[in-house]
Amino acid sequence: MAREPVFTPVFLASPIGNCYAKAMKYLMLFGLLIVTTALEACGDAVIRMGLFTQAALPARIGLFAAGTVLLLGYGTTLNLAPQEFGKLIGAYVATFFIMAQIINLIFFRTAPALPIWVGGAFILVGGLIVTFWQPARG
């Protein structure tokens, strides 16, 4: 049985439409990375609060349960990404570094020190290399 051709709107078939489609793909991927890194960083922070709080046991169990749900959401969402896993992880690690610093500031009121900024710059550059470097075809 012959497969029917996939309908492509005229706009997307043009060079401008192709750029638009690529931009939308990267924008959606970036949005997915923001959601997954927020889920992981918040999940880690909530579990950390459960470990080190002086609250009663039921409150601590509640924190562990909430952290578990957040981390499950992170793992599920990350693996739904329509991207090669190796390249995705490069972008993920860089995005996670930024999100972790934001969450650390919000949850624990700790601003990053100079060594974190310098090391973070290396993480970001590495993430860009892993994600966007196209090997030469020869």
The predicted-structure confidence for 53-110, as pLDDT tens digits, reads as follows: 999 999 999 999 999 999 999 999 998 888 888 888 889 999 999 999 999 999 999 9
What integer pLDDT is reported at residue 20 of this predicted model? 77
Q: Hey, what long-range contacts does 4-11 have (CB within 8 A, 24 or more apart)?
A: none
Structural domain boundaries in the chain: 26-132
Structure tokens at 95: 């995005």
Q: pLDDT-based confidence at 2, cuts 50/70/90?
A: low
Q: Is 0.75 surpassed by the pTM of this model?
A: yes
Rounded distance between C-alpha atoms, residue 96 and residue 112, angstroms: 14
What integer pLDDT is reported at residue 105 of this predicted model? 95
